Structure 1
Amino acid sequence: MKTNRMTSSGVAAAGAALMVLGLAGCSSDSGATATPTSTEAAALDTCPTAAPESSADPEWTLEGQTGSVEVTGSTASSAPVIDVETAFSIDETQVSTLQAGDGPVVGDDAEVSVCYVGVNGRDGSVFDSSYERGAPAEFPLGGVVPGFQKAIAGQTVGSTVAVAMSSADGYPDGQPRAGIAAGDSLVFAISILAVTG
């Protein structure tokens, strides 16, 4: 069953927000800080909520141990699309740069501002989305699940990336509040807006 999961419909786990990604509250220091211009600063305050054009071609296709996933990154005016052939599962985390940015490189423990959507590979459901909320999230990379950190660290600000993460790099024991069961593989599309701290 193929499902298009990033639309303007409600997020399956209301209130999960970035807490779904968080581990323990960690503080971090980052080396580089981007100072946006006034135009860039306005863009950093929102995540596009509009559905993309249906004619957009996938920028990344990945076959899993079971199922497959196609990801089309966001644009300045539309949210990304994650199409999952369920049940999608993967044993090793895979990252793809959909659109390379030209900003500073994101350090391993940087604090970042991003727009993102997370989809459960088991059933194709959206379990968290800053695109749905229309506002980016800010957090230190040291405080998120390993697969999310692997997707962002080493990328450049302005990039759009996709990650298909193994359960070991996500929630090996599950995250019931978000509808994530033990062993679920997760897929994210992420737009890196800024290094903020």
Structure 2
Amino acid sequence: MFTVRRGAVASALMLTMALSACSSDDGTSDSAGDDSPTTSAAATSCPSGAASDSAEPAWDYDGATGSIAVTPPTDAAAPQVDVTTPFSVNETTVETLEPADGAVVGDTATVSVCYLGVNGRDGSVFDSSYERGMPAEFPLDGVVPGFQKAISGQNVGATVAVAMTSADGYPSGNPAAGIEPDDTLVFVIEILSADG
């Protein structure tokens, strides 16, 4: 089993994969302009402490291969994803880790979120706003389909996790983020606010 924690992040690159428009097969972006996320000035910070070793996972999930155990964030600690590699899924699956009763997030809303992205192939963290300590803000119609599926229809204030197929992430991979074709991606997402 491979445990992913804040300190295991190889770099705090601002991953265009999670928060940019879907890339074409040649690696170019389908959106115009700067497609990296912006930091929300109005939102609070993302907790960056390490998850407690005694924290219980809120979602244990067996994939087509491997498995994951996801522990949600707390007020002081980032989420944790334990991966038995290689983890893969045949269908994108969303799990509400912590429900909320805020407004329902629309398909094209602009959201502010804290998130952690993990590659199921090797258990590595490829992007984390928790590592940066600041949330990201972006429109849902400018992200990969799996990220949109995870957030759209949820309530503001909820924390969700998604295990997404390559087709809902980057079918051709994203070399800059260490993502290969056919990689299953796992995200833990706190929905801080939504506009629209």
Q: Which amino acid aligns with 1:151?
A: A
Give the match for residue 169 of structure 1. Answer: 168
Any residues of structure 2 matched to 1:73-84 within 5 Å, and which?
Answer: 73-84=72-83
| 1:87-132 Cα shifts (integer Å, max 9, x gaps) | 0011100000000112100000000000000000000000000000
Equivalent residue number for residue 39 of structure 2? none
Tell me the distance in 2 between the aligned counterparts of 1:26 and 1:62.
37
Asked whether the 8 Å contact 2:161–2:188 carries over to 1, the reply is yes
Q: 1:117-167 CA deviation, whole Å, 9 max, x = no partner?
A: 000000000000000000000000000000000000000000000000011
1:20 alignment partner AA:
M
**What runs of 5+ residues in structure 1 fail to find an aligned partner?**
28-40
Question: Normalized against structure 1, the TM-score is what?
Answer: 0.86
Question: Under a length normalisation based on structure 2, what TM-score does the superposition of the two structures give?
Answer: 0.87
Residues 104 and 161 (structure 1 numbering): CA distance in 2 closer, same or farther, change over 3 Å?
A: same
Q: Say if 2:166 and 2:181, in contact at 8 Å, map to a contact too.
A: yes
In the TM superposition, what is the alpha-carbon distance from 1:26 to its structure 2 partner?
7.3
Equivalenced residue count is 179
1:19 aligned onto 2:25 = no
**Cα distance change, pair 46–12 in 1 and its aligned pair in 2 (3 A):** same
**Residue deviations 1:18-49 (CA, integer Å, cap 9, x gap):** 4222113379xxxxxxxxxxxxx5xx330000
Letter in 2 for 1:19: T
RMSD across aligned C-alpha pairs, in angstroms? Answer: 1.6
Distance 1:118 1:150 in 2: 15
Q: Taking every aligned residue pair, what percent have the same amino acid on both sides?
A: 59
SS of aligned partner of 1:78: coil
Matched position secondary structure for 1:70: strand
Runs in 1 of length 4+ with deviation above 4 angstroms?
none
Aligned to 2:47: 48
Question: Which amino acid in the other structure matches residue 12 of structure 1?
Answer: A
